[in-house]
Structure 1
Amino acid sequence: MAGSGSSEVRTTIFSSENYEFWKIKMVTIFKSYGLWNLVENGIPISYSKKKKKKKKKAYEEISEEEDDKKAAAILLKDAKALGIIQNAVSDQIFPQIANADSAKVAWELLYGEFHGGDHVR
């Protein structure tokens, strides 16, 4: 229903045909949610699972808390993007990305398998 405020993403389910068309639609969806940069470039190194070393400053605790919040927000966005990808592939394609731990990894796996290959038509 239009205007219902639903955040449900409706995508074409990719089943190994018309990858290039599916990819265009997916990029548009990611851009509309502000997720494309994350899918394309991955999680910034400074927000990865490893803690970065900090200079000793008086504001270190506040800065670390802010960094933790930013990192959590980025990881949440990545999980959302990965979920969108997982829900936009068929059950036959899903095993190929099932072990991907980030949206970028899943996206690159699909790209490597289907971009420009025999599956395009």
Structure 2
Amino acid sequence: MASSSSISTFSYTTTQIPIFDGYHYEYWSSQMETIFISQDLWTLVDEGLAEPPQEGSSSNWSEEDVKDYKQNVQRNATALRIIQQGVSKSIYPRIFSIKKAREA
């Protein structure tokens, strides 16, 4: 005989993203900044992603520079995903084609 449980399943995440719907930007922005700081993404969002040197330039990147850049590209994608999740369907088309968190 199968027993039924009276315990309800409740799912909660402390990283729930607030949704910006066009109103109260300062409130939403403050919450988003806190999320980015907690994920160690704020500097990337605030200052932007450094671009690699152009082909043939006199500045050569070390393997460590390349590794750091690749990690920052991934971190940028994470921050951009959070921003994309944090806007309503009516706001999203405004940032649809943006590829850098700083620009979104």
Fold match (TM-score > 0.5): yes
> Is the CA contact 1:15–1:90 (under 8 Å) kept in the aligned structure 2?
yes
Q: Report deviation, 1:67.
A: 1.5
**Which of the residues 80, 85, 88 maps onto 1:87?**
85
| Amino acid aligned to 1:94 | Y
Q: Report deviation, 1:103.
A: 0.3
Which residue of the partner structure matches residue 31 of structure 2?
25
| Amino acid aligned to 2:32 | M
Question: How many residues are paired up?
Answer: 91
**Unmatched 5+ residue regions in structure 1?**
55-62, 107-121
What is the SS of the residue equivalent to 2:35? Answer: helix
Distance in 1 (CA, whole Å) between partners of 2:47 and 2:100 is 11
TM-score (norm 1): 0.67
Distance in 2 (CA, whole Å) between partners of 1:50 and 1:87 is 31
What is the SS of the residue equivalent to 2:62? Answer: helix
Runs of 4+ in 1 over 3 A off after TM superposition: 49-52
**Which of the residues 14, 22, 25 maps onto 1:16?**
22
> Is the CA contact 1:39–1:103 (under 8 Å) kept in the aligned structure 2?
yes
What is the alpha-carbon root mean square deviation over aligned residues? 2.0
Distance in 1 (CA, whole Å) between partners of 2:46 and 2:63 is 27
> Is the CA contact 1:9–1:84 (under 8 Å) kept in the aligned structure 2?
no
Q: Report deviation, 1:50.
A: 3.7
With a CA cutoff of 8 Å and minimum separation of 6, indicate the structure with the bigger relative contact order: 1
Highest Rg: 1 or 2? 2
**Deviations 1:62-115, CA, capped at 9 Å, x for gaps:** x62221111100111111000000000011000001111100000xxxxxxxxx
